[in-house]
Amino acid sequence: SQTIHQWPATLVQPVGSPLSLECTVEGTSNPNLYWYRQAAGRGLQLLFYSVGIGQISSEVPQNLSASRPQDRQFILSSKKLLLSDSGFYLCAWSRDISPYNEQFFGPGTRLTVL
């Protein structure tokens, strides 16, 4: 069966510091990978998606970047964090972009920027 991992689970960082969040998927190959951010008490907003190694697309312009160095690894980064980067970050995978397939989510990383 497939599992998706994220770490760290929680992170408190000062403004201006760098960020690296990692997501890995097990039990499947060539998944579509997604990074979402959730503001407190709100729905999720797509940040980045990837259909393969080295292929990254950004949904909204922002202070963050993403990379996919391996088939089942997806990394979210920032060189200098802003207060507005605080939130709950969720990684997800799906088999493809078909509207008839589910997306499965990792446990999330709660980021607080002070």
Total Cβ atoms within 10 A of residue 111: 21
CB of 46 to other proteins, least distance (A): 4
Decide whether 15 or 60 has the Cβ nearer to other proteins. 60
Decide whether 30 or 45 has the Cβ nearer to other proteins. 45
Answer for the pair 91, 9: CB distance below 8 angstroms, yes or no.
no
**Minimal CA–CA distance to 29: which of 93, 101, 102, 98?**
93
**Binding residues vs other proteins (CB under 8 A):** 32, 34, 36, 41-46, 49, 57, 59, 88, 90, 92, 94, 96-108, 110
